[in-house]
Amino acid sequence: MKLGNLTEDAFTRLVRAAFDIAFVLDKDGVIEDVSVRKAELLALGCQSWVGRSWVDTVTSDSHIKVKEMLAASQDDNEGLRWRQVSHAIDKGADVPVQYAVLRLGDGGRFLALGSDMEAIAVLQRRLIETQQSIERDYLRLRHIETKYRILFETGSEAVLLVDGLSFRVLDANSSAQVFVKDSNKKLIGRDITDCFEPAYRDEIQSLLRMAHATGRVETCCARFVGASGDCTVSASVFRQESGPHFLLRLLPHGLVAKPTSAANQELLFSEAMEHSPDGFVLTDRAGVIKSANAEMMTMLGVTAMSQLHGQPLENWLVRGGVDWGVLLTNLRAQTVVKDFSTELRVMAGSTIAVEISALTLNTDQAYYAFYIRDVELARVKETPVVGGMVNSVAELSKLVGRMPMRDIVGETVDMIEKMCIQSALEMTRNNRASAAEMLGLSRQSLYVKLRRFEMVSDMEVSSIH
């Protein structure tokens, strides 16, 4: 490419237009001049690099890369080689920049050309978070599938799973294969109507249409192909992503499935709580655990109920007695607590974010019921990749141009501190000692902040000194 004789000014403008950052180095790697095109890189304090060694402006893990680039640029036969290095910011994440180094003539000077890689780094972080989220969801689905398969195969009733569109058998449990004498599993994939004697096929089709239309459990009498007697077929419909599906239960003739009675409703309710996707814990009024469901045990990483039974619930709360005191106070005052945000400490030593709802049971013996939902995944998804509070930035945007950026940042910090203190006081029902512990402050520091935000009188502040 023939560019003619470029002047120094034209060359500088060309470099500035093509690269986000560029600087001239002497033979020892000391920066002599800096040019920055991208405003975001000004946070690095590039203008103060003049007179400093390039190595001193990057993170320790990038030192070797800088030295290798400077050494490689001495060789004219060495091709242009791009390397990514990171610059450190005092209060923020490292800034990745991709550099290439060129030798400028025979005077021993070098030109470093850089492109900001922050956008790619953001995408990489999002990719990693997405992959971790997918892995967690995959493990949850594996656990759910395992539970489904155990319940499906160990049931005493013959059960068939039928596609609602093609009417083909998708799955059959062991009891169904024994019931229809299908040891070779030829039943799966067949049209469900072909599995019954011709005289009963219209009845089966009518049964499925009725169940699909009403959404209720429908029953009829039919005979399987090759069977010696009739059976009662019970059909119910449910939906999955691929469309409607039918659950067919086969009972020997005369053993019709009985509707749920009031006597076994408690058993069904207990079964539902045991297999709930949210954690459930039952404690006495002192907070000692009496029972917990499978999801709660999985959440805490315990393998046996004996590891929980008789243990105080507050032992599993990260803030221990502070959180338990807040829960207990609200339960005594209102009998119900909804969506109390806190963290649990699991057996492995790590913590998970949860929301706790609780209620006081009006029984002969005094018990509290706690419903605990894992919100760790939701918190990861909602955490913004780039620092900052979107809502606060929107609210404070009107201050831009009317006051310096440093003062705007100060306003934001003050607003966040005040909101945290207000939330802590509300959660502890204005118990300032508990609020201070929850916020990680001394009681005196909390009163100083309360006074600064005009949330307490001077007399109350002086009373603690």
Residues 280 and 226 in one domain: no
Domain residue limits at 299: 265-382
Residues 271 and 378 in one domain: yes
Residues 378 and 397 in one domain: no
- Report the amino acid identity of residue 219: T
124 in a domain, yes or no? no
User: For residue range 231-290, what is the model confidence (pLDDT) as tens digits?
Assistant: 889 999 888 767 889 999 988 765 444 544 554 676 677 778 888 889 999 999 889 999
109 in a domain, yes or no? yes
Half-sphere exposure (CA, 13 Å, Cβ side) for 399? Answer: 15
Burial class (CB in 10 A: 0-12, 13-18, 19+), 192: buried
What pLDDT band is residue 386 in, cutting at 50, 70 and 90? very low
133 in a domain, yes or no? no
Report the greatest alpha carbon distance in the chain.
Answer: 102
Q: Quote the pLDDT of residue 168.
A: 92
Confirm if 290 and 309 have CB atoms less than 8 A apart: yes
Number of folded domains that form the chain: 4
pTM: 0.36
Write down which residue in 382, 403, 429 finishes a domain.
Answer: 382
Confirm if 333 and 326 have CB atoms less than 8 A apart: no
Instruction: Go through 394-403 and write b for each residue having 16 or more CB atoms within 10 A of its CB, e for each that does not.
Output: eebeeeeeee
User: For residue range 155-164, what is the model confidence (pLDDT) as tens digits?
Assistant: 778 899 999 8
Q: H-type helices in 190-311, by residue range?
A: 201-214, 262-274, 294-300
Q: Which helix (H) or strand (E) holds 56?
A: none
Q: What is the CATH number of the domain that holds 400?
A: 1.10.10
Residues 310 and 291 in one domain: yes
Q: For the sheet with 351-361, list strands across it.
A: 289-292, 279-284, 367-374, 351-361, 336-345
149 in a domain, yes or no? no
Residues 290 and 223 in one domain: no
440: number of Cβ within 10 Å:
8
What pLDDT band is residue 389 in, cutting at 50, 70 and 90? very low
Residues 228 and 325 in one domain: no
User: For residue range 324-363, what is the model confidence (pLDDT) as tens digits?
Assistant: 988 998 888 888 998 888 899 988 888 888 999 999 987 6
Residues 315 and 405 in one domain: no
What pLDDT band is residue 79 in, cutting at 50, 70 and 90? low
Strand pairing class (279-284; 367-374) = antiparallel
Three-state DSSP at 160 gives strand
- Residue bearing the bigger pLDDT, 52 or 119: 52
Q: Of 81, 84, 42, nearest to 62 (Cα)?
A: 84
